Amino acid sequence: MGQPAGRILFCATVAQHLERFHQPVMRWFKSRGWEVHAAAAGPLDLPWADRRFDVPFSRSPARLTNVRAYREVRRIIEEGGYRLIHCHTPTASALTRLAARRARRGGTRVLYTAHGFHFQAGGSKLSWMLYYPLERMLARLTDCLITINEEDFRLAADRRFPAGRIVRVHGVGVDLERFAPADAETRRGMRRRLGCGMDDQLLFYAAEFNKNKNQRMLIEALALLKDEFPRARLLLAGDGPLRPACEALAVRLGVGDRTHFLGFRPDIADWLPSLDIAVASSYREGLPVNVLEAMACGLPVVATSNRGHRELVNDGRSGWLVPPGDARQMADRIRRLLLNPRDRAAFGGAGRGIVSSAYGLDTVMAEMRAIYASILGEMEIGTWAQRQESFTPSST
Per-residue pLDDT at 149 = 95
Backbone φ, ψ for residue 367 (5° rounding): -65, -45
CB 236 within 8 A of CB 259: yes
Q: How far apart are CA 57 and CA 60, in angstroms?
A: 9
Q: DSSP secondary structure string, 314-370?
A: -BTTTEEEE-TT-HHHHHHHHHHHHH-HHHHHHHHHHHHHHHHHHTBHHHHHHHHHH
Eight-state DSSP code of residue 173: -
Give the whole-number percent of the chain exceeding pLDDT 90: 87
User: What is the dihedral angle through the alpha carbons of 22, 366, 118, 75, rounded to the nearest 10 degrees?
Assistant: 50
Q: Which amino acid is at 246?
A: C
Q: Which amino acid is at 200?
A: D
> What is the average pLDDT score of the chain?
93
Where does the pLDDT of residue 395 fall: very low under 50, low under 70, confident under 90, or very high at 90 and above?
very low
Least confident range of 57-61, 294-298, 385-389: 385-389
Task: Report pLDDT digits (tens) over 236-252.
Answer: 999 999 999 999 999 99
Q: What is the chain's length?
A: 396
Q: How far apart are CA 340 and CA 218, in angstroms?
A: 20
Where does the pLDDT of residue 378 fall: very low under 50, low under 70, confident under 90, or very high at 90 and above?
low
CB 9 within 8 A of CB 85: yes
Q: How far apart are CA 162 and CA 142, in angstroms?
A: 8
| Higher-scoring residue by pLDDT: 64, 301 | 301
Closest-CA residue to 166 (of 179, 150, 181): 150
Per-residue pLDDT at 393 = 35
Distance of CA 133 to the CA centre of its chain: 23
**Average pLDDT in the 62-86 region?**
96
Task: Report pLDDT digits (tens) over 293-351.
Answer: 999 999 999 999 999 999 999 999 999 999 999 999 999 999 999 999 999 999 999 99
- Domains of the chain, start order: 7-173+360-395 (3.40.50.2000), 184-358 (3.40.50.2000)
Query: Residue 382 pLDDT more than 80?
Result: no
**Average pLDDT in the 167-175 region?**
97
Closest-CA residue to 159 (of 175, 141, 135, 183): 135
Where does the pLDDT of residue 1 fall: very low under 50, low under 70, confident under 90, or very high at 90 and above?
low
**Cα separation values, 101 from 96, 134, 301, Å:** 9, 16, 43
